[in-house]
Amino acid sequence: MGNAREEILEKLRAAPKGDVPVRLHMSPLNEIGLDKEEMITKFRETLFLQTGVVHRVKDNREALDKLEEIVDTENLKRVVASTDDVVTPLDLPSWGEKKGVHISRAQDFTDRDEFKDEVFARAEAGITGADFAVAESGTLGLAHDTDQARLISLAPILHIALVPADRFVPVYENAIDKVFKDGAAIPSQFTFITGPSMTADIQATPFKGMHGPRRIIVIVIG
């Protein structure tokens, strides 16, 4: 086992270093030439095929109005939210107090097990921002750090993602470029999310929500 491990590691060390491989024959893809509005439309269409829902609002005030509508429709009483640069300006804990919704954040928990209990067992939804959204596949991208705890988007049965309109990219390669851009701190993890969690492990029957959210709602801001 030890020899096999060292052999694999040696191959990785010897692998050529360079840019992220470019997809062959990218040029025919229609998505590359889309403008911002066309990218958002394409994203909406492709995410819809994965049963995701997309709403469009003008600004943060309208985003809060849409969140209130979702909270009322879904009868949400307990939510966990990230503290990334999209979500923090909304001051969701204070907003939640006025609306009768308990909104917690990862920083509110000093014990990791207590936080895990919150996101897995008690929270009815997780609210996060997104670092990018890929038009070609309806995919969200989240770079994880202390303000973007991974479990908030993966554990609750409903994921609500807030995406500024200027964060849409045509294809995956553009998203990778944003993550690994020169001089940027590379995150320890990042997640691609294309629709609700889905598996067909059980008797080959597709099932949503086995390993993550059963539903995704995206609010595009701007």
- Domains, the chain, in order of start with CATH, read 34-199+206-221 (3.40.50.10420)
- pLDDT (average), residues 95-119: 95
- Tens-place pLDDT, residues 148-207: 999 999 999 999 999 999 999 999 888 888 777 766 777 888 899 998 766 656 666 555
Reduced DSSP (H G I as helix, E B as strand, rest coil) percent helix, strand, coil of the chain, to 5: 40, 25, 35
State the Cα–Cα distance between residues 22 and 9, nearest whole angstrom. Answer: 24
Percent of the chain topping pLDDT 70:
83
Selected residue with higher pLDDT from 119 and 28: 119
State the Cα–Cα distance between residues 82 and 63, nearest whole angstrom. Answer: 16
- How many alpha carbons lie under 13 Å from residue 211 in its C-beta half-sphere? 9
Neighbouring C-beta atoms of residue 208, cutoff 10 Å: 17
Res. 46 pLDDT band, cuts 50 70 90:
very high
39: three-class secondary structure by DSSP: helix
